[in-house]
Structure 1
């Protein structure tokens, strides 16, 4: 039976109530949206791929190991970079392995999208799945994060896809075990996320009364300790000696959520859309607990916010956007896709939806077109003022092009902007139509008085 016509069946988690709800509207526009998806992936190929800053340190550590010079003592994990070994080997044959590794995170992201499609196809409403994947490409901050050899894309994709696999129901248990293995690997790649994995696994363990969910946490801890032991001779030496955890926690949380240059409210607005009731009927709960996976995504992201809030470098320094919280693009894209698939007829929810959609597409366009530009005021090496980029509106990576348009954009970048405008127009058209109908109905119910009715 097609996913669009299924009714929700018994859920996996006991706290997820059964409800008979209408099925989603008839699925339309599949060919158009898959075409936009393909063009969006093509645009990622033409991003400004490079190996710079901390990414260069990761590359040098991998290059040192694969060249036979032993393990680097650098603090950045090699777990994720090791998966780039085939690309490094190809670069050795053809030349410039660093150029090849600049595309590693794009490959990781593409494989993650393929995995999400294969895991959710037939288990989730076809329109919802398609828009979810489309929004990950053209409605998220992913373009700025697949263009460098940083760790966040690998961790976000292994953890994100791993949670979907972990919440499969009607399938072989080995898929779920592989999902939790992905969580352990992605978490160990960034040791600071260990508390996030622990909280996510603890939530699952309490709900199902199973102790086995401690296994991925223990596995991740052993990977982190083992790597430190091999590389630095001490399992407790993570290479971050002397790091300051003196940023006021409350201010850190507020900054991570609301600062104009790094805040999740601006960079992942879909994260704050409520979807629990709206999601019902859009997936087969007998095959996948999509709500459970979404909830675990939120727990993981929330725990990361709490962990990073106290660190002096909570902002990710001069990197574009809130790079530590890249995992948030998954629940944000899913939530927005849910609202686009099951819309609301009322005016104010549609106004909100139009705003969230517009901001999400602008985030993707900005991170694709302006990611390597940077606001001059806070990136001026002679007078570096990073807090302007973190907290200021005008200097924010997200907003400065609107007031200080870069004058050296190549024609290809304008073509990318035009593409994102087309994406926005396609996804926004039904919302605008509903708002137009609402406005027309309101005007009919509240006719304007004729001039003859006016008195002094």
Structure 2
């Protein structure tokens, strides 16, 4: 009697060469993407960013200290770029790339600080997702202050986790001082850190941030309690029942619903990774879990505060403007789920959907933006009926409007970056798609086997 030995199917086990190839490919994609951001994409020079730029220009050319409502902490640190550009006759070109350079420097710090704390494939995937498949891709085009705050809070928390508490908190304090409304978010994050390390003294960091905000107000406006928002901090009256009210007058219930679920401003569509469960997958990565908890605490603080702000939407700005930092834990969650995939087809399907939406959000923000949307939503400057449509309906969302009205003409640089972004998106999606296909194939084979075993 002969015994037939069934051969096991060969399974490809990644070897050292595979990891080296992946590392080189991903590093190349990151470097090429940064170059594309700097030299291929046009800058956004309107809105709050232009006000900050003109304030910096007045300060450096005339010595005039601006008394406006926007903090000068971030713009002051970009003064070297303005001065270099002024030597070559193009201060705007250099200064408007400040946020892109901040993003590059922040990612370099994150890599070198965490490369021995987290698996390097996970860390590279996190950087790829954060830079090219998140809201950061749009924010780096302008000179607004949200990216400065987000990047300093990110690098500061990384410094905390790797054992550099004092410089870490100093970085966070400077970042938060540039956006005073982020102080409650910092307070919530600090409480989380105090809970982890059992050291109450770090609560003084919040006091330092408040003190820096007050010192700037005193120097610029004559009083530590004058914010600059007292005069005209309200929007136009529209059909919405709580419009036209000042300050933090918006009902928090409706604000939370809008900031999470609205098609034009909701985190569910602009940062879908934020809603993916990953804590269990971080059980063997203590540094990753601690960072993730700190980041979530900061996002929660921002969300609770801005849900009550009359301009919770960020007006005509692309996406949920004030919640840029939400892209940090969202990108990290997606990176973790790609690095440690789930054990079911449903888990992989959810990952693929969230990853695909996040990739499109980054690509849409970098290439298409929302230049045409304000013309539709605020045709007369008031937007009594149009603005709510743009906040809540999918057709006027910045994510989908290019498919409705047709994309604006792209520059050659934008076409090149679009091709690059599609290549990055394909690279990020190929692994999860193959795993999903494997789960579906296994499920189909199992179902066929069960059907074949039934006695008819």
**Fold match, TM over 0.5?**
yes
Counterpart of 1:3 in structure 2 is: none
- From 280, 291, 295, the equivalent of 1:297 is 295
- From 259, 263, 276, the equivalent of 1:260 is 263
Does 2:224 correspond to 1:235?
Answer: yes
Q: Retained in 2: the 8 A contact 1:159–1:183?
A: yes
Q: How many angstroms does 1:445 deviate by?
A: 2.7
Distance 1:370 1:338 in 2: 28
Q: How many angstroms does 1:215 deviate by?
A: 1.8
Distance 2:426 2:84 in 1: 41
The verdict on how the C-alpha distance between 1:74 and 1:407 changes in structure 2, with shifts beyond 3 A counting, is: closer
Distance 1:328 1:407 in 2: 28
Distance 2:62 2:204 in 1: 33
Q: Retained in 2: the 8 A contact 1:142–1:326?
A: yes
Q: How many angstroms does 1:211 deviate by?
A: 1.8
Counterpart of 1:18 in structure 2 is: none
Q: Retained in 2: the 8 A contact 1:51–1:101?
A: no
Does 2:183 correspond to 1:185?
Answer: no
Counterpart of 1:277 in structure 2 is: 280
Counterpart of 1:37 in structure 2 is: 30
The verdict on how the C-alpha distance between 1:146 and 1:362 changes in structure 2, with shifts beyond 3 A counting, is: same
Q: Retained in 1: the 8 A contact 2:103–2:151?
A: yes
Distance 2:63 2:50 in 1: 17
- From 315, 328, 331, the equivalent of 1:317 is 315
Q: How many angstroms does 1:99 deviate by?
A: 2.5
Once the two structures are superposed, residues 243-274 of structure 1 have per-residue CA deviations (whole angstroms, 9 ceiling, x without a partner) of 31221110001111111111111111111111
Q: How many angstroms does 1:411 deviate by?
A: 4.4
Q: Secondary structure at the match of 2:448?
A: coil
The verdict on how the C-alpha distance between 1:397 and 1:224 changes in structure 2, with shifts beyond 3 A counting, is: same
Counterpart of 1:347 in structure 2 is: 345
Counterpart of 2:112 in structure 1 is: 118
After superposition, where does 1:51-450 map in structure 2 within 5 Å? Answer: 51-169=45-163, 175-242=164-231, 243=233, 244=246, 245-281=248-284, 283=285, 285=286, 289-375=287-373, 377-381=376-380, 384=383, 385-447=386-448
Q: Retained in 2: the 8 A contact 1:345–1:434?
A: no
Distance 1:248 1:112 in 2: 35
Distance 1:433 1:114 in 2: 30
Counterpart of 1:17 in structure 2 is: none
Q: Retained in 2: the 8 A contact 1:164–1:290?
A: no
The verdict on how the C-alpha distance between 1:238 and 1:25 changes in structure 2, with shifts beyond 3 A counting, is: farther
The verdict on how the C-alpha distance between 1:382 and 1:256 changes in structure 2, with shifts beyond 3 A counting, is: closer
Distance 1:39 1:416 in 2: 10
TM-score normalised according to structure 2 size: 0.87
Question: Larger relative contact order (C-alpha < 8 A, sep ≥ 6)?
Answer: 1
Once the two structures are superposed, residues 281-314 of structure 1 have per-residue CA deviations (whole angstroms, 9 ceiling, x without a partner) of 3x4x4xxx32112111111111111111111111
Q: Secondary structure at the match of 2:395?
A: coil
Q: Secondary structure at the match of 1:394?
A: helix
The verdict on how the C-alpha distance between 1:383 and 1:65 changes in structure 2, with shifts beyond 3 A counting, is: closer
After superposition, where does 1:8-23 map in structure 2 within 5 Å? Answer: none
Distance 1:163 1:267 in 2: 23
Which stretches in structure 1 are left out of the alignment for 5+ residues? 1-23, 170-174
Q: How many angstroms does 1:381 deviate by?
A: 4.4
Q: How many angstroms does 1:449 deviate by?
A: 12
User: How many residues in Structure 1 have an aligned counterpart in Structure 2?
Assistant: 419
- Bigger drift between 375-384 and 189-198 goes to 375-384
CA RMSD of aligned residues (A): 2.3
Distance 1:223 1:408 in 2: 44
Q: How many angstroms does 1:92 deviate by?
A: 2.0
The verdict on how the C-alpha distance between 1:379 and 1:397 changes in structure 2, with shifts beyond 3 A counting, is: farther
Q: Retained in 2: the 8 A contact 1:50–1:99?
A: no
Q: Retained in 2: the 8 A contact 1:156–1:327?
A: yes
The verdict on how the C-alpha distance between 1:50 and 1:200 changes in structure 2, with shifts beyond 3 A counting, is: same
